[in-house]
Amino acid sequence: MADTSYLDWPFLDDAHRDLAGRIARWAEAEIAPTADDEAEEGEAIDAACRALVGKLAADGWIGYCVPAPHGGHFEHIDVRSLCLIRETLAYYSGLADFSFIMQGLGSGPISLFGSEEQKAAYLPGVAAGDRIAAFALSEPDSGSDVAAMKTEAVADGDDYVLNGAKTLISNAGIADQYTVIARTGEAPGARGLSAFIVETDRPGLEVTERFRVIAPHPLGTVSFTDCRVPRANLIAGPGDGFKVAMATLDVFRTSVAAAAVGFARRALDEAVARSQSRQSFGKKLSDYQLIQQKIADMATDIDAAALLVYRSAWTKDTRETRGTREVAMAKLHATEMAQRAIDQAVQIFGGQRRRRRQRRRAALPRDPRAPNLRGHQRDPEADHRQRGAGGGGGVTEANP
């Protein structure tokens, strides 16, 4: 990355600076050479994801997604480390970034609330890349409004029996284990939900739909029909599901904003390089003040977003608070900023942006909205930011 001055900011310490250097060198060597040729769809994308998880795990990066001593590097997941790694991976490859963070998000409920037996049984495999993890919260009729979910889990002897469907689930189809939030009915709404570990080979679990998405990655619908899981697979207690889900998102949400910063940094670097090499009306594009203005706007926007990201991560790591206000501001600003930055870069690329391969090479998303990282959530996020400023509420989006 061209600009690494942000690494000197006081939100980071020397261990973070060392990590940033190591992940940058690793991504340059291991991800950059093949990023242009990443798979586009179907089984190829599944295989690419598995391979990326294996590679990330083998070189120790997934160890930042789970706690020690279960394959992780730290006793508590360090949000600043997650952000530095995501920012760098996203700069080179959205799929590498996705593969990294899903191991954390998918196993996060076990890391944060699992029993020692659950941690020992599931986390080492996740850290080693042998088990792919997924987080199943959203449903066809309940996205932002988690409390409206219908999937139910009914206690029956030593088991719970799950029925329902979860949709828009990242890693659906390749996951070995899902953390599933389901209604157990201890109380109305959000207080009647529980979290379960559901292994993919449980009878009654079926991936009933796969989606083709603009930024390709495994995504689909997972259905449960009389799917039995032992009570031992319940995470925390009955009725704790909403708390488990929200606390997990609290840890991983800032990193969504960090990935957006990574996308935007790449767009800026590519736009600068293009403006310095493209001649128009006898001068380089970069000689025109209008282009300089665009570049200056992008750089300013990126620094503002990065400040919010690392403030949020530092708050989560070092303060006894959920950091609701900080993370909501970081994610809202960074994801919208990334969309603006990509738009500017696409504009500077001119007609070349129409060429799919050229655009890929330049790391410019094919959908200008893609770096917005599911921008349709802006409104609840803004609403949440206001509530967070007043100290209440919980954002409910679960996308990585």
Ligand X SMILES: Cc1cc2nc3c(=O)[nH]c(=O)nc-3n(C[C@H](O)[C@H](O)[C@H](O)COP(=O)(O)OP(=O)(O)OC[C@H]3O[C@@H](n4cnc5c(N)ncnc54)[C@H](O)[C@@H]3O)c2cc1C
**Residues lying near ligand X in the complex (CB under 6 A):** 135-138, 143-144, 168-170, 219, 374, 376-377, 379-380, 383, 396-400
- Alpha carbons 257 and 248: distance in angstroms, whole number: 16
Minimal distance in Å, beta carbon 174 to ligand X?
12
Contact 66, 252 (CB under 8 A): no
In the complex with ligand X, which residue's Cβ is closer, 16 or 325? 325
In the complex with ligand X, which residue's Cβ is closer, 297 or 379? 379
Number of H helices, E strands in the chain: 11, 10
In the complex with ligand X, which residue's Cβ is closer, 25 or 376? 376
- The SS3 call for residue 227 is strand
Cβ-closest position to ligand X:
143
Question: Phi/psi at 201 (nearest 5 deg)?
Answer: -85, 10
Minimal distance in Å, beta carbon 300 to ligand X?
27
- Alpha carbons 394 and 391: distance in angstroms, whole number: 10
Longest dimension (CA), the chain: 80
- The SS3 call for residue 210 is strand
Minimal distance in Å, beta carbon 108 to ligand X?
11
Among residues 346, 361, 306, 375, which one has the least CA distance to residue 93? 361
- Alpha carbons 343 and 337: distance in angstroms, whole number: 10
In the complex with ligand X, which residue's Cβ is closer, 171 or 344? 171
What is the DSSP secondary structure assignment for residue 142, as one 8-state letter?
B
Q: Is the dihedral of CA 311, 316, 320, 323 positive or negative?
A: positive
- Alpha carbons 88 and 92: distance in angstroms, whole number: 7
In the complex with ligand X, which residue's Cβ is closer, 12 or 110? 110
Minimal distance in Å, beta carbon 381 to ligand X?
8
Minimal distance in Å, beta carbon 62 to ligand X?
17
In the complex with ligand X, which residue's Cβ is closer, 344 or 396? 396
In the complex with ligand X, which residue's Cβ is closer, 26 or 122? 122
Minimal distance in Å, beta carbon 216 to ligand X?
10
Minimal distance in Å, beta carbon 101 to ligand X?
10
- The SS3 call for residue 239 is coil
In the complex with ligand X, which residue's Cβ is closer, 337 or 395? 395
- Alpha carbons 226 and 221: distance in angstroms, whole number: 16
Question: Phi/psi at 206 (nearest 5 deg)?
Answer: -145, 135
Minimal distance in Å, beta carbon 134 to ligand X?
6
